[in-house]
Amino acid sequence: MQQRPAPSPGLRTDAELSDATRDDSSLRRFLRGLPGIDPVGLEQRAAGLATRSIKKNSKLQAIDLAISMVDLTTLEGADTPGKVRSLAAKARRPDPAQPGVPSVAAVCVYPDLVAVAAEQLAGSGVGVASVATAFPSGRAALAVKLADVRSAVDAGATEIDMVIDRGAFLAGRFGEVFDQIVAVRQACAGRRLKVILETGELGTYDNVRRAAWLALLAGGDFVKTSTGKVSPAATLPVTQVLLQAVADWHARTGEYRAVKPAGGIRTTKDAVRHLVAVNEVAGPAWLDPYLFRFGASSLLNDLLLQRRTQREGHYSGPDYVTVD
C-alpha cells in the first residue's frame, strides 16, 4: 500500500501517532480505536462547568481576555469593502472611549476582501484571517480549494480557516480528508491553519473526536467547531471534546495546538463559560489568544457593554458602543 508524505515537521515523537499516518488503513485503525465518549458524562460536566462563577475582581480580566481572543467576523454575501474597513477599525480599537480595551485577535473575511482588511490592519498586530476551501460547504475540487487558499495568502492573510469535506469524512474516507488538510497546509505557506470540522453535521461526539484527531495528525494549528452557517454550532460539550483533544495531543507530543469555537457564542456569560472550560479541561496555558479564539460578530458588543458595567457600576446600553 502506498505511503503518504507526512505533514509538516513538528515535535511528534509518539510512535503510534507516526504510524497512524502511514497509510489509509493505519489512519482508519487509529481513528476508530480512539476511546468512546460518554455523552451523558460529557454533558453533565459541561453543565457543571457552566455554573462556575468568577469573582467580581476577576471578571474584568476575563472580559479583557475574551476580547483579545475574538476573531471578529463578517461572512455575508452582502459584505463590502466599507463594511470591512469599519470592522477593521473596531478590531483595532473596540471601544474608542476606553483606551485600555485590548485589540481583538483577528478579523475574518472572505478571500476577496482580505486585501482591504490587510491594508487597514497593517502594523496593528491584529491578524487577518480568511475562510477558504469552498467555505462553507467544502464541496469543490482540491485544485479549486488550493486556489482559494493561495488567493487569500497572496492578498495578505495571516491565517486560513479551511473546511473539511464532511461527506468524505462521514463516508469513512479519512485518508482523503487527511491528504486535503496536508495539501492546504502546504498552500498556506507558513500561515496558521484553522481546520473547521462543522461539528453540527458530524452527528456524534465520537465523530467530533475523530475529526479533531484527524486534523491534528494532518498538521492543523487549530481545530475549529463550525462555520457559523450550520446549527448547532459551538456548544460547550463539543468545545470540551476539542479542548481534550489538544490537551491529549500536547501530553503525547509536547506540541501546543489551538481551539476555536465559532457560531452561537453571543454573550459575555457564554464567553466566560468557555474560558472556565479552557482552564479546567485543557489547562491555564490555553488561556491565551494564540491557543484559544472565539469566532464571533455580536459577542464583542456584549463584552464591551459588560466591561463598561464592571468599570462604571451601571449598565451601558447598546447606544454606547458601535453595533455591527
- DSSP code at position 204: S
Q: Is the peptide bond before 94 cis (omega within 30 degrees of 0)?
A: no
Q: Is the peptide bond before 289 cis (omega within 30 degrees of 0)?
A: no
Active-site annotation holds for 56? no
Kindly report the CA angle at 197 between 47 and 259, in degrees rounded to 5? 60
Kindly list the distances between the CA atom of residue 41 and the CA atoms of 44, 108, 116, 226, 245, in Å, as whole numbers in the listed order: 5, 34, 46, 23, 16
Active-site annotation holds for 260? yes
> What end-to-end distance do the CA atoms of the chain give, in Å?
53
Burial class (CB in 10 A: 0-12, 13-18, 19+), 315: exposed
- DSSP code at position 201: G
Three cell numbers written together for 37: 465518549
Beta strand pairing status for 106-109 and 192-196?
Answer: unpaired
Active-site annotation holds for 83? no
Phi, psi dihedral angles at 294 (to 5 degrees): -110, 120
**Strand runs (DSSP E) across the chain, as ranges?**
70-73, 106-109, 127-132, 159-163, 192-196, 222-224, 258-260, 294-296
Candidate list 161, 165, 221, 270, residue with the active-site label: 161
Candidate list 145, 224, 270, 302, residue with the active-site label: 224
Residues whose CB is less than 8 angstroms from the CB of residue 54 and which lie 6 or more positions away in sequence, other chains included: 62, 272, 276
**Helix (H) or strand (E) run with residue 45 in it:** helix 39-50
Candidate list 90, 145, 194, 260, residue with the active-site label: 260
Active site residues: 161, 224, 260
